[in-house]
Structure 1
Amino acid sequence: MSEQNISIEEFEKKYVARLETRKLDYNALSFQEQISPHYRRAQCRYIGTGAVAAVDSNVIQAEHFTLSNMYLPAGCEGPMHLHEDVEEVFFVIKGSVTARVQIGDTIHELKLGERDCIWTPPGYYRGVRNDSDEEAIMAVMLGAAKPQIPTYEPGSALENLRIERAKAKAAAAAAEQQK
């Protein structure tokens, strides 16, 4: 429900996110770099925090989706991953990327340039790779205020790491409840 009785200053403070106040967060997905340095990338959050980000009080609080910019260095990639609960959009702002989507047992690659976009429904493995010599910047939108943490290909090093991290987080939460 919209708030119609607030000042423009309050509206701006609550609903406007400016580039000058954003920070590139190379730590949001740094756990993936434990598997490969090619997974290095930064998230710059605007609306919500996405599926894996820590708490960020500097974002517009989402009600139905998240929006961030992903900075993908030359030669790096966002690994194949699965969101069972949300659709995901990659919109190329700068540079070019290779979008990857798995249909059945086949991974298809689609080249995307500036202002190209791919929408992936829930239930498809998807990823992106920067094959160029220049940084690429994409807008990334997920269709929920707090999406579930994505999964990776069964048996992969990333999926095994995700499982280990989930167990450690659950153990820490259980220990905290016992205090």
Structure 2
Amino acid sequence: MSVARHPRPKELENASLQEIMDRYVGRFRDKTPDWAAFEDARIEGYKRAQHRFIGAGGSGKHGDTSVIPARGFTLSIMFVPPGQGNAAHTHEVEEVFFVLQGFLTVFIEDEQGNRLTSRLGQWETISCPPGVIHGYVNDSLEPVYFQVMLGRAKPETMGYADASLYERRDAHLTPSS
């Protein structure tokens, strides 16, 4: 006989194993790429698609029943075509990029504009500490898929380093007319 040594969360106390399996398994085939998950994704050079697996995340979008509820982190897969990336930004928590396929050039920078870059390949990662300006670009000839994990179930919206992007950082959350 098995004994659970830790209690289930309140919302799962009476859930069947099938209910837990149905709610806590995420499949790529069930994901719809979100090309408007971030405000900067509307700008050429920053176009990318997010496939959210765990948590509502910084995009603030809700209602996707294929997303697994988060407790302490978010997890997404990003698809970035050649020549695209994201705008320099910070988070209040750590953010991890883990390359699954392709090559990704990541960067960190300071407030004086000094920037260091590193090219990551398959199975390589960077952990970006809170408050450190960072981002990435796919400067290769092939698309890249990588995992993104943030250290909070619902992190704040990205803190773009660019003032005009920062001012409208939540604009993608309202429906366009």
TM class, shorter-length: 0.7 to 0.9
Q: Deviations over 1:21-61 (max 9, x none)?
A: 111111212x3244x31110000010012201411332100
Q: Percent identity?
A: 36
The equivalences for 1:151-162 within 5 A come to 151-155=159-163, 157-162=164-169
Q: Distance in 1 between matches of 2:136 and 2:168?
A: 20
Q: Count residues in correspondence.
A: 163
What is the deviation of 1:4? 6.2
Q: Which amino acid aligns with 2:97?
A: F
- Larger RCO: Structure 1 or Structure 2 (Cα < 8 Å, ≥ 6 residues apart)? 2
Work out whether 1:80 is the aligned partner of 2:88: yes
TM-score (norm 1): 0.82
CA RMSD of aligned residues (A): 2.1
User: Which contiguous aligned blocks of 4+ residues in structure 1 show a shift greater than 6 angstroms?
Assistant: none
Q: In structure 2, the residue corresponding to 1:37 is in which secondary structure?
A: coil
Please tell me whether the aligned partners of residues 60 and 157 of structure 2 are also in contact (alpha carbons under 8 angstroms): no
Greater helix proportion: 1
The equivalences for 1:93-172 within 5 A come to 93-103=100-110, 105=112, 106-155=114-163, 157-162=164-169, 165=171
What is the deviation of 1:136? 0.3
Q: Which amino acid aligns with 2:73?
A: F
What is the deviation of 1:150? 1.4
TM-score (norm 2): 0.83
Structure 2 segments unaligned to the other structure (5+ residues): 1-6
What is the deviation of 1:159? 2.2
